[in-house]
Structure 1
Amino acid sequence: MLIVEDKGSAIALMLVSLFIVGTFPALLTLLERRGRLPQHTYLDYSIANLLAAVMIAIVFGQFGESKSGMPNFLTQLTQDNWPSVLIAMAGGVALGLGNLIAQYAWAFAGLSVTMVMCSCMTVVVGTTTNYFLDGRINRAEILFPGVACFLIAVFLAAAVHSSNAKDNEEKLRMSGNLHMDSVKKLFSGVVLLDPEIAKDRDTSAHNPIHQAKPGTAAFIIQLEQKRSIKVLESHKLLGLNLIFLAGICFASFLPAINLATNDQCHVLRNGVPHLVVYTAFFYFSMSCFALGVCLNVLFLYHPMAGVPASSIGAYVRDWNGRYWALLSGLLCGFGNGFQFMGGQAAGYAAADSVQALPLVSTFWGVVLFGEYRRSSMKTYILLVAMLSMFVAAVVLLIASAGHRKT
């Protein structure tokens, strides 16, 4: 079994996790903006995410001989470790629910702001919890100033969201030939087309706006026409409320993995080995998969947030963007696995440095989606302040990394 024990390797795994976990939300957002239903996308994502967990468990968890107190993956599947298994599965439910909510929050609040606020909430709540669960192996004088920086970044992110929303309203109001009434008429009575029919239909003739420049009123309405989640005229607080719910879920999953692998609550019987990180990750991903599939099959027929209804048959036939959805699930799965492996070695509080992922997501948001193009100077100042505070917080968390005694 491959066990990461030195701090340098742990930090390297965290940095790899940072990049790939920061990239998968951009792929999901890209598909939503191209009109693919979030239910279809999340079902594909869930399948690939579970596949990644199985690959990590079998390849790394079965590699080499078992170590003292650390059985190989397949051996642990037959042991009486169900209390820890249930804790790991609870963490998977938390992450699955958080990702599901975040998929809608990305649409209503934007990729950049959503990821920053969710990550900051994860650090403020989750990192503090992990610090005490890990027996204070991280340096508190460095860790908690970093947590404070994350907390400040939350308020700055809320201000960025509010300022950018006002900028978009002003653009629509100042536009001479694009009005909100016409936008409402444009999207009234939206229905889902069967993928086979939609593929053969020329939709360009129904699109009154072509080659709109990012950041303009025309671009905002063109995006609204294409995307599967309609966000114009939604309540300003809706996006922030979704972010808050997702952040609470994200703050719970890493402490659950910590408890499952280190058994701080002493729920296992004497002599039963603790769950190795690979076994915990496997059960974690199983529950995440089950939740994602059950809820999104329900949402196919009873959608929310104004998304059109669909069916199992339409999902199976919908290959438009499926490969991107599957890739996003693989990226998220491997990213979470690497984060857990690094956290087991250097402390799960330091592993929350992976919550720097909004730095990657914001890059993709600006480059791919034109977020904050032609915004006001106030929005730009708030955005720079938010990201600067975020960078300082991440540096402090990485610097607080300790070393767990095995």
Structure 2
Amino acid sequence: MFVILDEGPAVAVLVLATICLGTFPIAFNWTDLHGRKPAHTFLDFSAAFVFAALPCAISLSNTGPRIIFMPGLWEQMTQQNDFVVACACVAGFFLMLGSMSLQWGMALTGMAICVPFQIAVSLSIGIGIDWLMDNRLGKAAWVFPGLVCFSVATIFGTLAHVERLKALKYKKDKNAVRNIVGLDDVMGQPLAANMVKSVEMGASSSSGSSSGGSMEGIPEPPRKRGLHERKLSETTDIILDLEYGKSSRRTSNLRPIGAQVMQDTSAFERDEPASTPKHTPMRMQYCKRGIDLDSSKPLTGVIVLTLGGFCFGMLTPLFFIATSALPTTDYWRILPEGVPPLTVYNAYFFMALTFGFTAWGMNLSLLYQPLCSEESSWSEYIRDNNGRIISIAAGLACGLGMALQFLGGLAGGYQVADVVKMYPLLTVVWGLLLFAEFKGSGRKAAYLLAAMCGAYVVGVGLLAAARNISVVQ
């Protein structure tokens, strides 16, 4: 089995793994913004993941010197280790569910919230279960404060998501009124500017104003509400009712790109200009989203992210059982005497194989029975080349990143391997830079996002300080 014995190269390998794992989620967000069906994206992603993971696992497992209790893949396939192989396969199934929830969660919350939230939930569950199974993994005085920090990070992430949705809703109200062109009041003057002021003032200010009368055609004093303002308010209410009533079903599949919100209503639809460039953000505003979900409700996104975090969290203890059930520490006697557990590479092989089979089975069924997208078919998937390259690149990066994580973790031990847990912060950077997430969301949302990242970093630091076992030893 191939093992790096120096911590210097191990750290370099782990940094490369962090870059790979922090970059591949871009594909899910990019393809969704360009309207590609989620099943098409995940089929390409899972196939590329398997083609990257299996060769890495086989080559790393069967090269290098033979280590006691760390046999090669072909040797372990002949041993009586059905239980640990089953644990690795179930871990692959949970990896598939977590990855699909990651894809759907990004459509609801964006990259900056989705990945840190999910990984914080998964670490809270996975590390806690691992410590209960073997408390030698870390000192309780450091482990549990770290788990509390991850829980705090999820709270800050939820609040940041809520604040961002509030800002987007306000901007949508404002832009929906501004885009109404050619609508005049009873005096023949444009209403757009006055209607924007009405939306900004809100219901509280309008209720506090006096309702004195006025003569038609003569401007009213600032604090009196006459016929002109009453007609203006009624028109604004009708438009906003259309925006959130009947038209919401028609415009729910229109895409915002980053913080740019669709400026349109079904009552006053406009066609795409013929001179619009082909690959610009302006044109992308007219594209349909790949995943047609109502992202205006914060609870929907939080539920999807929590379920995905639970799936990722169950992956860790299952993988731990498959790779750490040594005869000297096997409390449940799940292996016959003298039979070693799976090595990390062999467990990765079975996990990736199960991931590929379950991902293709699930998404092939979703082609014909989609949940929140248009129906597709196998022939349509074959012809759909929009976003295929980036989906395949994401699968290769994810498969290679996980293999590098195991390779570096074997050499550096748990303390060095915890560096990889910083990769969600890289997804935050990509979300802010590439997709303009949280642009125009206000200072409060930005502070909450920073607090989420800070709590996550503190939690990872506490876990790294609590580790006291080196894998190679």
State the Cα distance separating 1:229 from its structure 2 match: 1.6
State the Cα distance separating 1:231 from its structure 2 match: 3.9
Q: Residue 257 in 1 paired to residue 324 in 2? A: no
- Does structure 1 retain, via aligned residues, the 8 Å contact 2:252–2:294? no
Q: Residue 69 in 1 paired to residue 69 in 2? A: yes
Q: Which residue of 2 aligns with 1:54?
A: 54
- Does structure 2 retain, via aligned residues, the 8 Å contact 1:73–1:279? yes
Among 444, 456, 470, which residue is 1:390 paired with? 456
- Does structure 1 retain, via aligned residues, the 8 Å contact 2:145–2:462? yes
Q: Which residue of 1 aligns with 2:306?
A: 244
Provide the C-alpha distance between the structure 1 equivalents of 2:388 and 2:342, rounded to a whole number of angstroms: 34
State the Cα distance separating 1:371 from its structure 2 match: 0.3
Any idea what SS the aligned residue of 2:24 has?
Answer: helix
State the Cα distance separating 1:102 from its structure 2 match: 1.7
Provide the C-alpha distance between the structure 1 equivalents of 2:292 and 2:167, rounded to a whole number of angstroms: 18
- Does structure 1 retain, via aligned residues, the 8 Å contact 2:112–2:428? yes
Provide the C-alpha distance between the structure 2 equivalents of 1:255 and 1:111, rounded to a whole number of angstroms: 26
Could you list the runs of 5+ residues in structure 1 that have no partner in the other structure? 190-204
When the two chains are superposed, the root-mean-square deviation of aligned CA atoms in Å is: 2.9
Larger Rg: 2
Higher mean displacement: 108-117 or 228-237: 228-237
When the two structures are superposed, what TM-score results if normalisation uses the length of structure 1? 0.86
Among 312, 325, 332, which residue is 2:378 paired with? 312
State the Cα distance separating 1:271 from its structure 2 match: 2.0
- Does structure 1 retain, via aligned residues, the 8 Å contact 2:29–2:110? no
Provide the C-alpha distance between the structure 2 equivalents of 1:6 and 1:251, rounded to a whole number of angstroms: 30
- Does structure 2 retain, via aligned residues, the 8 Å contact 1:104–1:242? yes
State the Cα distance separating 1:27 from its structure 2 match: 1.7
Could you list the runs of 5+ residues in structure 2 that have no partner in the other structure? 181-242, 255-269
Q: Residue 84 in 1 paired to residue 84 in 2? A: yes
Any idea what SS the aligned residue of 2:70 has?
Answer: coil
Any idea what SS the aligned residue of 1:70 has?
Answer: coil
Flag the 1:378–1:187 CA change in 2: closer, same or farther, 3 A: closer
Any idea what SS the aligned residue of 2:290 has?
Answer: coil
Q: Which residue of 1 aligns with 2:426?
A: 360
Task: In structure 2, give the amino acid aligned to 1:276.
Answer: T
Any idea what SS the aligned residue of 2:46 has?
Answer: helix
Q: Which residue of 2 aligns with 1:185?
A: 250
Alignment of 1:3-402 (within 5 A): 3-4=3-4, 10-175=10-175, 176=177, 177=179, 179=243, 184-186=249-251, 207=272, 223=285, 225-232=287-294, 234-263=296-325, 264=330, 265-305=332-372, 307-344=373-410, 351=417, 353-402=419-468
When the two structures are superposed, what TM-score results if normalisation uses the length of structure 2? 0.74
Task: In structure 2, give the amino acid aligned to 1:88.
Answer: A
Provide the C-alpha distance between the structure 2 equivalents of 1:397 and 1:208, rounded to a whole number of angstroms: 54
- Does structure 2 retain, via aligned residues, the 8 Å contact 1:45–1:329? yes
- Does structure 2 retain, via aligned residues, the 8 Å contact 1:6–1:345? yes
Provide the C-alpha distance between the structure 1 equivalents of 2:295 and 2:458, rounded to a whole number of angstroms: 36
Task: In structure 2, give the amino acid aligned to 1:185.
Answer: R
- Aligned length in residues: 385
- Cα deviation 1:100-128 (Å, max 9, x = unaligned): 12211110111111111111111111112
Provide the C-alpha distance between the structure 2 equivalents of 1:80 and 1:319, rounded to a whole number of angstroms: 45
Provide the C-alpha distance between the structure 2 equivalents of 1:279 and 1:136, rounded to a whole number of angstroms: 24
Task: In structure 2, give the amino acid aligned to 1:228.
Answer: G
Provide the C-alpha distance between the structure 2 equivalents of 1:258 and 1:136, rounded to a whole number of angstroms: 13
- Does structure 2 retain, via aligned residues, the 8 Å contact 1:108–1:231? yes
- Does structure 1 retain, via aligned residues, the 8 Å contact 2:415–2:465? no
Provide the C-alpha distance between the structure 1 equivalents of 2:298 and 2:147, rounded to a whole number of angstroms: 27
